[in-house]
Every structure is written in structure tokens, then in C-alpha cells.
Amino acid sequence: MPTALPRVAWIGLGVMGSPMSEHLLKAGYPVTGHTLEAHKLDRLAAAGGTPAATVAEAVRGADVIVTMLPADPHVEAVAYGEDGVLAHARPGALLIDMSTVAPRTSVALAAAATAGGKGVRVLDAPVSGGEAGAVEGVLSVMVGGAAADFAAAEPLLATFGTTVARCGGHGAGQTVKAANQLIVAVTLQACAEAVVLLEKSGADLATALDVLGGGLAGSAVLSRKRHNFLAREFAPGFRLDLHHKDMGIVMDAARAVGAALPLGSAAATLVASARARGDGGLDHSALLRGVELLSGTAS
């Protein structure tokens, strides 16, 4: 007789959380979800999930609890509040935080989950791939925590991730995600600068980007953001506001271990500048607008 799939509580049904939870439903997992937006709960119900009015209602009796939230304060509020996860999760439940937060936040959460006999197991499991990756189910999932807990979670994570790997102990997933966001920010800025150089030099931009994409300069960033650069369309797949938050995590993590990040510091400043100009709601490929402004070609 086949073993029943674990009961999942999903907290946070935003741009990433909704399609990810729907992949679980398609795979047969029973999912109870909670979020603050009523229409997202309607979407969950339409996909076959069970809406919950509160975090406590969602997590009660769940085998696995997944949180996918915007930032550290949201994770802490959901985890530690009187109506939160740790107050209502059953002993032995597995909490998988897929939000992007500081490594120290994940380490503290793992410690709190075992304190006082709570007995909740924790993994930090941030993702890379953006909205498109979440919809297509091809995310990269970087995990920190105990090996046995990762083994238990891996089949579930594989429903929406094509690269799923344990990177070390608690906080390691978040450290790898910080490195990911560092690379993406620096690469986006380099691509933006190349676009302006090419256009001001009179090269055919579409052809040039194709050639660059086929050589050593090729990257997932260039491939996924090619249309944004060509069409100057910056509908958010991943908002600059969020990348600004993530670059704060990068710099904080670097200070904690004494790592010098010269390019990372410059990229963090440029992301902050774009946000200060009012571009925070745009896709992070809108870093191009800053290069155009400096180059005198802004429209």
C-alpha cells in the first residue's frame, strides 16, 4: 500500500509561493495555505488546496510547513508570534523556510525551533530562478540544515526544483543564496553596461547579444533578461526592491566573515541608487536605466 504524502502547510502565496504550492498540489500533496491576500487564497482553492484564515490554522497537524515570505521581519513574525508556526506546529514537524533572509536569521530560527522541547526541525531553503522558474518548476534550491531532514524534504522540493542540493548546516542555504544574488547583481550591471556600449557604438544590439550569449560571456542572466534589454520592458520578474534587500544581506554576511566584496559593494550602491530614483518596483534588469542616465542616453 503506497505511503501517504505528507500534509503541507504553505505560508506566503505571493509571486513565487503560489506557483510553487500549485506544483505540490499537482504532485498529489495535500496543501493548506495562508496568506494576507484573499484572492491568493481563492487561487489556492481553485487549484485544489485548502485556504486557512490564520497561520495557526494552517500549520495545525501539518507534517511539513513551508514559509515563502518577503524578508527577515516577516519570517520572524510568522515563526515566533503567539499565533505563529512554533507555537502551533506539532513536535517533529519539518519547517522549511524558503524565504531569502540573513544566514544569522536562519541559524536563530533553527535554535528556537528546538528550544524548550518544541522539537520542530528546520531547513533554510531559498531558491533562485525567479517567477519564471517558479511557474515552470525549474528552480534551483539551496538548502541548509541536517542531512536527515534534507533527505526527508528532497522529494517535496524536487516538485518545483530541478537543482536541489544541501549546502551545509543551518544558514548555509542562505549564504549560497547571498552569493547567488551577488553574482546576479554584478552580471546584470555588466550586461547593462555592455548594452549601452554596443548601442552607442552603432552595433546591432539583438545580433550582438546573440553572439555574446553563445560565447564565454553567455549566462542565464543574459538569456533570461535579453528581451528586457532589447525592448526596454521592465515588468517585474524580480523587483529591484527585493534585490536591494538581498544586497543588504550580502554585505551583512560579508562583514560577518570578513570577506571583501569590491564589486559587490559597487553593485549594492547601484541597486540602491536605482531604488532611490523610484525604480524599486521594476525588474532588476532596469539597472540599465541607471547606465543610460550616466551615459546621457536616458529617455
Residue 233 is given by DSSP the state -
Instruction: Decide: 274 and 257 in contact? Cβ < 8 Å.
Output: no
Please check whether residues 180 and 165 belong to one and the same domain.
no
Please check whether residues 155 and 242 belong to one and the same domain.
no
Rounded CA gap, 223 and 132, in Å?
13
Q: Could you tell me if residue 106 is inside a domain?
A: yes
pTM, two decimals, is 0.93
pLDDT of residue 1: 47
Q: Could you tell me if residue 101 is inside a domain?
A: yes
Q: What residues make up the domain containing 128?
A: 8-169
Please check whether residues 162 and 121 belong to one and the same domain.
yes
CB < 8 Å & 24+ apart, contacts of 211-217 = none
Reduced to 3 states, what is the DSSP secondary structure of residue 258?
coil
Domain termination site, one of 169, 196, 229:
169
* Candidate list 40, 177, 225, 245, residue with the active-site label: 177
Number of alpha carbons in the 13 Å side-chain half-sphere of residue 220: 12
Backbone CA torsion sign across 215, 219, 221, 227: positive
pLDDT of residue 117: 76
Instruction: Decide: 59 and 67 in contact? Cβ < 8 Å.
Output: no
pLDDT of residue 81: 86
pLDDT of residue 108: 97
Please check whether residues 234 and 162 belong to one and the same domain.
no
Please check whether residues 209 and 136 belong to one and the same domain.
no
Q: Could you tell me if residue 83 is inside a domain?
A: yes
Please check whether residues 225 and 77 belong to one and the same domain.
no
Neighbours of 73 (CB within 10 A): 11
Please check whether residues 25 and 163 belong to one and the same domain.
yes
Helix pair angle (262-274, 240-257), 10° resolution: 150
Please check whether residues 15 and 158 belong to one and the same domain.
yes
Pairing between strand 94-97 and 64-67? Answer: parallel
Please check whether residues 221 and 140 belong to one and the same domain.
no
Which residues lie across from 144 on neighbouring strands?
124, 168
In sequence order, what DSSP letters do the residues of 37-63 get, joined into one string? -HHHHHHHHHTT-EE-SSHHHHHTT-S
pLDDT of residue 293: 97
Q: How does pLDDT run across 131-166, given as a tens digit for each residue? A: 889 999 999 999 999 999 999 999 999 999 999 999
Please check whether residues 53 and 104 belong to one and the same domain.
yes
Q: Could you tell me if residue 2 is inside a domain?
A: no
Backbone CA torsion sign across 18, 146, 61, 86: negative
In sequence order, what DSSP letters do the residues of 128-155 get, joined into one string? ESHHHHHHHT-EEEEEES-HHHHHHHHH
Residue 177 designated active-site: yes
Q: Could you tell me if residue 236 is inside a domain?
A: yes
State which residues of the chain have pLDDT below 50. Answer: 1
pLDDT of residue 274: 98
Q: Could you tell me if residue 3 is inside a domain?
A: no
